[in-house]
Structure 1
Amino acid sequence: MSDWQPIETAPKDGTEILVWHQHRGQFIASYTSADAFHLTQAEIDSMDEETLFSESWFTQWPDANRLEGSEVPTKWMHLPDDPAD
């Protein structure tokens, strides 16, 4: 049984989750804003307020690419638990 769910039901609080996109496969992403990432002052200065604070889907740090339009994943699931030591 698959635990994949429609992306519309995914958490939108910055939680990292496993997502799926038909052209990119599986990867980790979160719904957040660019200001949630460790940015240099130069990177912050290069963005207007809307770009810095608007929320959308982002790939996992360190790439932190904003995903828009057809790039938005369509399915999601929680990340598995870390392995026991």
Structure 2
Amino acid sequence: MDIQVRVTADCFPDAVKTLTKLYELNDGSIQTDCFRAFKDDTLDPPLGVQLTVIGSEHDIFYKIRDVLLNNPMYRKPLVLH
């Protein structure tokens, strides 16, 4: 499961510090002044936390949420035969 945490640029350093205390840094992801990814693989399902500065180039995950909220057909389970 992935979640996004959106913060202002001035709050980003403190948010990184706080999330670092709670979760492991996702070393397989990019790290910038506007984006960090964290994870907790011990949970079921595993958790991914994307920290973004509002309005930055990586501040896109909420758009995926909006598409899912507005299109119920995209939330139906995929049935493989």
Regarding TM over 0.5, the answer is no
Into which bin does the TM-score normalised by the smaller protein fall?
under 0.3
The structure, 1 or 2, with the larger RCO (C-alpha pairs under 8 Å, 6+ apart) is 1
Q: Which has the higher strand share?
A: 1
Q: Which has the higher helix share?
A: 2
Provide the TM-score with structure 2 as the length reference. Answer: 0.24
Provide the TM-score with structure 1 as the length reference. Answer: 0.23
